[in-house]
Amino acid sequence: MSETDGLKIPQHIAIIMDGNGRWAKKRHKPRTYGHAKGAKVLEQTLEDCDDLGVKYLTVYAFSTENWARPYEEIKVIMDLFRQYLINSVEKCMKNNVRCMVIGERSRLSPDIIDAINNLEDKTRDNTGITFIVAINYGSRDEIMRGISGIASDVKNGILSPEDITEGTLAGHLDTAGIPDPDLMIRTSGEQRLSNFLLWQSAYAELYERFCNRHGMTGCLLDDPSEETTPSLQHIAAAFPAFCGRETAFLRYLQSECPAVREKVFLPVAPADAPLRID
Ligand code: IPE
Ligand code: IPE
Ligand code: MG
């Protein structure tokens, strides 16, 4: 966590990007329209987190359980990944963003794996925000793979069982070397972790009212034209809950952070807004 004007900024925010399908359904559009909008909002969210001084942003894009969805929906999501990964190279290089992908890769198409490797290689030395995308990710799967790795090390004489510590397992997870998230946001108002960063989130503050009425893409919703993506106001909504210091946070946004100042429209959501999407 960094400290600005006495205000704590989360070092690492993790977001479960949920509610895309319901958002689209409410607009009488196919679920896949919601996924496309979600991908667009994500670009803005990354930029906003960077502006706010967040060092790591991890987003849950596709879970190990999401393969159970209809084939057509999975196909659209995979196509969105393809485009996103390819387009991200130039954007990340321009904005000094380091990009990483976590999750199990063997089930992904070879061209998607190539695009992931290319994006990671090209952006490896960037020194700005680290952007981590979880694709075919599940915590249980990640922990099982980590345990297998440790078992192999023991079998090969690299490691003694008595030397296994929490750090040993942490070092065998996909997130090895990345600090644990200190703020976990779930859009859509659901309150589950859905197999996301179970080990790493042991002490994360949870915030599920973010975009409580509309889900991730719902960030767009207060703009009837749906042209702009004011995701920042929703990130901003989570921060005071994290710091417990709303006034100081707003003062910080208004005075200390010019890049952000232009974009914040408050209040974010009425206190009596429903907590869940119907
Ligand atoms: C999250 O939105 C995106 C993915 C899981 C890929 P959903 O698709 O889960 O949308 P809802 O929760 O059904 O509205
Ligand atoms: C969690 O959302 C997974 C991602 C956001 C990628 P889901 O919509 O898949 O989770 P459940 O089914 O509500 O638990
Ligand atoms: Mg969902």
Query: Is 18 annotated as catalytic?
Result: yes
Task: From the candidates 50, 66, 96, 126, give the one annotated as an active-site residue.
Answer: 66
Residue nearest to atom 5 of ligand 1 (CA): 62
- Which atom from ligand 2 is nearest to the alpha carbon of 134? 6
For 173-217, how does the pLDDT look when each residue is reduced to its tens digit (9 = 90+)?
999 999 999 888 887 767 899 999 999 999 888 876 544 333 343
Task: For the chain, give the percent of residues with pLDDT over 70.
Answer: 71
Rounded Cα gap, residues 119 and 115, in angstroms: 6
User: What residues contact residue 276 under an 8 Å CB cut-off, 6+ apart?
Assistant: 188, 189, 190, 212
Q: Name residues contacting ligand 1 (CB within 6 A).
A: 17-22, 62, 66, 77, 188, 215
Determine how many CB atoms are found less than 10 A away from the CB of residue 41. Answer: 24
pLDDT, tens digit, 9 for 90 and up, residues 258-271: 555 454 444 344 44
Task: Locate all alpha helices (DSSP H) within 57-138, ordered by sequence.
Answer: 71-95, 110-123
| 190 CB burial (10 A radius; 0-12, 13-18, 19+) | middle
Average pLDDT of the segment spanning 76-81: 97
Candidate of 15, 16, 22, 67 to mutate for ligand 1, largest count of ligand atoms within 8 Å of Cβ? 22
Does 16 score more than 80 pLDDT?
Answer: yes
- Is the model's pLDDT at 28 over the cut of 70? yes
Strands of the 183-186 sheet, one edge to the other: 98-102, 130-137, 56-63, 12-16, 183-186, 205-207
